[in-house]
Structures are given as C-alpha cells and as structure tokens.
Amino acid sequence: MPMIPVITQALMAAKGASKGLAGSKLPMIEQALSKAVCQYILVSAFVTSTNNVIGPGAGTQTGKILGLSPNTMSGLMVAKAASLGLAGKDIKSLFDTVSFGVVNSMNSVLLQGVVIGGGLGTGTGKIIGLVPFVLTGIIMIMMKAVKMYGDKTFAMASAIAFGVCTHIMSNGTVSVTNIGAAAGPPIGPITIPAAPGIGRLV
C-alpha cells in the first residue's frame, strides 16, 4: 500500500492524542505535514540494490522497508530544532507524533523495480534521493496552504525535513525479492552475486 496522506494524518492524530497534544490548529498542521512528506517521498525517493540472483536474465523486484524507528527519527528532529533555537515539551511531542505517522506509513510501502542481468534471487537495497532542503520548502508551501504562519514555522519545517530524510536514508534498508527467469543452457543458468537493481517506492 502506498503512503496515503489521509492515513498518515490519522496515524499522527492518534499518536498526538496519546501524547496530550490538542488545539484547533493541530489537525491542519498534521494535514500539511502528511501531504508534504508523503508526496515528496513517493516522488523523490528511489532504491538502489545489490542482489544475488540466477542469470543471465531480466527480473522485477519487490521488497519491504526495514530499520526505521519513530524514536530515532524524532531524536534527529529534536537535535536539529535545538540547533535552530527551537525547543520545548510540545515541540518534542509534535516530533514524536510526526515520526510515528511517517515511519508507520513507510512500513506499508513496497519497492517496485528491476534487477539488471538476472532473475530469481534476493538482495538488499538503500533508499536515496531525499534532500532535507527540498522537503522543507514543500512543508512550508503546505503550511501556508492551510493558513499556518509564524516565526517558528521554518525552524519546525527544517527540523522535520532533516529528521525524515536523514533517518530514512541512513537507517532504512529494503529487503528485496527478485522475480524472473534466467536463460537456459548454454549461457545459463549461473549465479550472479552482485547484480545491481533500481526501483521506486509505491
């Protein structure tokens, strides 16, 4: 299942309620952040992988994301926010809320890609292509769209973007399954221990 903003927002809302966050503006903030993060990740992120496959041939890839932690992502946001002069109990609760929604949405995302030179097998992928500065800009656009302004908005957006992008690319891995047929004799089948693959998150 892809990252869907309304589901990500619902996850954030549930976590926020458990943390005691409230206020008339909170749903608008969660809506803006959900839209920005979901749209950016699905458009900009892609996966490179190394695969042990049987070939030669051409195969397709699927896979699940592993290694993401809401607490680790939130911790990165807190650290970045502190460096920008933004701190406080409520902002930590907001970061926990956002991280919970993003990580649990990411856990439902699948890899869709191809493996080059081989078919059936397995591999490990890394997520690349995410830029905190770009995500910060998208968050700011979404926040303005729901009439959310303020002196601290940019610092909040920067911290969230940094945490999301850094954690996903540093700690996220993709467990890859390759599907496809290898060529028969006389050229195959043979084991290809490091076949490259590339794909997108869907």
Q: Does 163 fall in a domain?
A: yes
> pTM value?
0.95
44 burial type by CB count under 10 A (0-12 exposed, 13-18 middle, 19+ buried):
middle
- Say how many C-beta atoms besides its own lie within 10 A of residue 1's C-beta: 10
DSSP 130-142: --HHHHHHHHHHH
Q: Does 43 fall in a domain?
A: yes
Residue 117 is which amino acid? G
d(CA 116, CA 50): 10
d(CA 42, CA 138): 13
Q: Does 178 fall in a domain?
A: no
Residue pLDDT, tens place only, 162-196: 999 999 999 999 999 999 999 999 999 999 999 99
User: How many independent structural domains does the chain possess?
Assistant: 1
Q: Does 201 fall in a domain?
A: no
Which segments of the chain have a pLDDT < 70?
1
Q: Say if residues 54 and 192 touch (Cβ distance below 8 Å).
A: yes
The DSSP letter of residue 58 is E
Q: What is the pLDDT of residue 1?
A: 65
Q: Does 65 fall in a domain?
A: yes
29: region left, alpha or beta (phi > 0 left; psi from -120 to 50 alpha): alpha
Q: What is the pLDDT of residue 67?
A: 98
> Could you tell me which of 51, 8, 53, 3 has the C-alpha nearest to residue 199?
51
Q: What is the pLDDT of residue 69?
A: 98
The parent domain of residue 50 ranges over 5-172
Q: Does 186 fall in a domain?
A: no
Tally the C-alpha atoms within 13 A of residue 175's C-alpha that lie toward its C-beta.
Answer: 6
Token pair for 197? 């693959």
Q: Does 200 fall in a domain?
A: no
> Could you tell me which of 81, 84, 107, 77 has the C-alpha nearest to residue 174?
107
Q: Does 29 fall in a domain?
A: yes
